[in-house]
Amino acid sequence: MSASAVFILDLKGKVLISRNYKGDVDTTEIDHFLPLLMQQEEEGLTCPLLSHGKVHFLWIKHSNLYLVALTMKNSNASLVYSFLYKLVEVFTEYFKELEEESIQDNFVVVYELLDELMDFGFPQTTDSQILQEYITQEGNKLEVTKQRVPNTVTNAVSWRSEGIKYKKNEVFIDVIESVNLLVNANGSVLSSDIVGSVKLKVMLSGMPELRLGLNDRVLFGLTGRDKGKSVVMEDVKFHQCVRLSRFENDRTISFIPPDGDSELMSYRINAHVKPLIWIESVIEKFSHSRVEIMVKAKGQFKKQSVANSVQISVPVPSDVDSPRFKTSVGSAKYVPEKNVVIWTIKSFPGGKEFLMRAHFGLPSVDKDELEGRPPITVKFEIPYFTVSGIQVRYMKIIEKSGYQALPWVRYITQSGDYQLRTNS
């Protein structure tokens, strides 16, 4: 059904740790993995699914590690990749960083986790918060009798344990919207969408029932409210805890939240918003002598708002030299290892327009290899503002002990995959 065995390899293909879940695949098969991958890389065509004879390798790469799942069956590939990413997530939460050293330093726990996360190829409990209740790094210090399976593992509410206590009951809600943009070289917008996410930091006692109200247009339509200030969400994805059938029925977002930090939901909005930061660029290349770059950036959002830590990366050929810059605001820097000029503006008020000029020398001899034409990319953050206009209207918190709890809301809009193609 899914994985027969899971391997963690270093970049040279050495097995750091592995777990053979089903025993139908010979573990020496993993030796074929790296040569296959190398061969593909040489041909310039990598693929996350490799096969050798009857064995199929599904792999992902994380920092300096390969995580590889082996199977001989018609496995559920999306399940396997999700699981591998889940492994990374759990290990990262256990060890802060997942890398060669952290695996060696913690191999006993890694084995325990591998044993608990998957059984005979079926993923089991993968919620690291719950796992940490009974698989601990200081296992030997605990009294044996104390080690019990938390009920949570098998409960319908498998993400929250009972008996949590806080002196002050609070919920912090972060609404974060990332703007994805793709603009072609003549300045027309090819695609733009907003991926939003609602993150929670829950510090509530007991097993509270929460209900989140948003200005969702479908909901407003259902309840016959004015649709003026509402938002159409194209697609919504929820955390395990949200009752999906309830949402399907009457658009109510109701749930028992996990404790601490979690992502409650994400949504996608296919709105044609004006690009928040608009870039016009002229990149002129004079072969064998110089490159001249002129970049104009314009803040196309409300005057009251300010974009912070704006970074505009402009690609330059790999063989340029002697950079010179002039900026109307902020500072520019040449980063040779990435072949870009990064123009940084700490604070960029809405409605303003800034200019940057750069001048580079070019060697008199052409370089051999062709270069791609990477786009200009922009990073920014605009606090206290959502580009879609989505708002938290209420957060109802009901717990049987009847305590009063305060919800806090923050909004922020940031750049997602924000690319503007250039002509040269």
Partner 1 sequence: MTDSKYFTTTKKGEIFELKAELNSDKKEKKKEAVKKVIASMTVGKDVSALFPDVVNCMQTDNLELKKLVYLYLMNYAKSQPDMAIMAVNTFVKDCEDPNPLIRALAVRTMGCIRVDKITEYLCEPLRKCLKDEDPYVRKTAAVCVAKLHDINAQLVEDQGFLDTLKDLISDSNPMVVANAVAALSEIAESHPNSNLLDLNPQSINKLLTALNECTEWGQIFILDCLANYTPRDDRESQSICERVTPRLSHANSAVVLSAVKVLMKFMEMLPKDLDYYGTLLKKLAPPLVTLLSAEPELQYVALRNINLIVQKRPEILKHEMKVFFVKYNDPIYVKLEKLDIMIRLASQANIAQVLAELKEYATEVDVDFVRKAVRAIGRCAIKVEQSAERCVSTLLDLIQTKVNYVVQEAIVVIKDIFRKYPNKYESVIATLCENLDSLDEPEARAAMIWIVGEYAERIDNADELLESFLEGFHDESTQVQLQLLTAIVKLFLKKPTETQELVQQVLSLATQDSDNPDLRDRGYIYWRLLSTDPVAAKEVVLAEKPLISEETDLIEPTLLDELICHIGTLASVYHKPPNAFVEGSRGVQHKRLPPRTGSNESPESPELAQPAAAQPADQPPAVIPSQGDLLGDLLNLDLGPPTSGGTPAITSAMQMGAMDLLGGGLDSLLGGDLGGSPAIGAGSRSCSYAVLPQCPSRGWSRDLFDLGSGVGMPAGSYVVPKTVWLPAMKAKGLEISGTFARRMGTIQMDVTFTNKAMQIMTDFAIQFNRNSFGLSPAAPLQLATPLSPNQTIEVSLPLSTVGPVMKMDPLNNLQVAVKNNIDVFYFSSLYPINILFVEDGKMERQVFLATWKDIPSDNEAQFQIKDCHLNSDAVSNKLQSNNIFTIAKRNVEGQDMLYQSMKLTNGIWILAELRIQPGSPNFTLSLKCRAPEISQFVLQSYEAMLKN
- For the segment 203-242, give every residue that binds partner 1 (CB under 8 A): 234-240
Q: How far is the CB of 217 from partner 1 (least distance, A)?
A: 14
Instruction: Say whether residue 56 binds partner 1 (CB under 8 A).
Output: yes
- Residues numbered 284 to 343 that lie near partner 1 (CB under 8 A) are none
Distance of alpha carbon 174 from alpha carbon 408, whole angstroms: 8
Distance of alpha carbon 333 from alpha carbon 210, whole angstroms: 48
- Exactly one of 228, 364, 366, 370 binds partner 1 (CB under 8 A); that residue is 370
**How would DSSP label each residue in 105-152?**
HTHHHHHHHHHHHEETTEE----HHHHHHHS-TTGGGS-GGG----GG
Contact 52, 30 (CB under 8 A): no
Instruction: Say whether residue 419 binds partner 1 (CB under 8 A).
Output: yes
- Exactly one of 5, 6, 9, 58 binds partner 1 (CB under 8 A); that residue is 58
- Tally Cβ neighbours within 10 Å of residue 302: 12
Q: Is the torsion defined by CA of 108, 110, 116, 121 positive or negative?
A: negative
Stretch that binds partner 1, among 41-49, 199-207, 281-289, 349-357 (CB under 8 A): 41-49
Q: How far is the CB of 73 from partner 1 (least distance, A)?
A: 6
> Would you say 22 or 352 has its CB closer to partner 1?
22
Q: How far is the CB of 201 from partner 1 (least distance, A)?
A: 18
Q: How far is the CB of 267 from partner 1 (least distance, A)?
A: 9
Distance of alpha carbon 142 from alpha carbon 147, whole angstroms: 8
> Would you say 70 or 307 has its CB closer to partner 1?
70
> Would you say 376 or 397 has its CB closer to partner 1?
376
DSSP bridge partners of 361:
290, 321
**Alpha-carbon distance values, 264 to 41, 106, 261, 270 (Å):** 38, 31, 9, 20
- Exactly one of 49, 335, 398, 409 binds partner 1 (CB under 8 A); that residue is 49
Which positions ≥6 away from 153 have C-beta within 8 Å? Answer: 125, 130, 134
- Residues numbered 20 to 39 that lie near partner 1 (CB under 8 A) are 20-24
Q: How far is the CB of 195 from partner 1 (least distance, A)?
A: 6
Q: How far is the CB of 104 from partner 1 (least distance, A)?
A: 4
- Residues numbered 95 to 154 that lie near partner 1 (CB under 8 A) are 101, 104-108, 111-112, 115, 119-127, 134, 139-140, 144-145, 147-149, 153-154
Stretch that binds partner 1, among 165-173, 182-190, 198-206, 285-293 (CB under 8 A): 182-190
Distance of alpha carbon 28 from alpha carbon 288, whole angstroms: 54
- Number of residues located near partner 1, criterion CB under 8 A: 100
> Would you say 77 or 342 has its CB closer to partner 1?
77
Distance of alpha carbon 341 from alpha carbon 292, whole angstroms: 12
Element (H, E) at 277: strand 277-286
- Exactly one of 26, 32, 128, 182 binds partner 1 (CB under 8 A); that residue is 182
- Residues numbered 242 to 261 that lie near partner 1 (CB under 8 A) are 243-245, 247-248
Instruction: Say whether residue 191 binds partner 1 (CB under 8 A).
Output: yes
Residue with the two structure tokens 């918003």: 273
Stretch that binds partner 1, among 184-192, 219-227, 358-366, 378-386 (CB under 8 A): 184-192
> Would you say 13 or 361 has its CB closer to partner 1?
13
Instruction: Say whether residue 282 binds partner 1 (CB under 8 A).
Output: no
Q: How far is the CB of 240 from partner 1 (least distance, A)?
A: 6
Tokens of 271: 């709105």
Which positions ≥6 away from 386 have C-beta within 8 Å? Answer: 175, 177, 196, 411, 412, 413
**How would DSSP label each residue in 282-351?**
EEEEETTTEEEEEEEEEE-S-TT-EEEEEEEEEE--TT-EEEEEEESSSEEEEEGGGTEEEEEEEEEETT
Distance of alpha carbon 193 from alpha carbon 272, whole angstroms: 7
Q: How far is the CB of 45 from partner 1 (least distance, A)?
A: 6
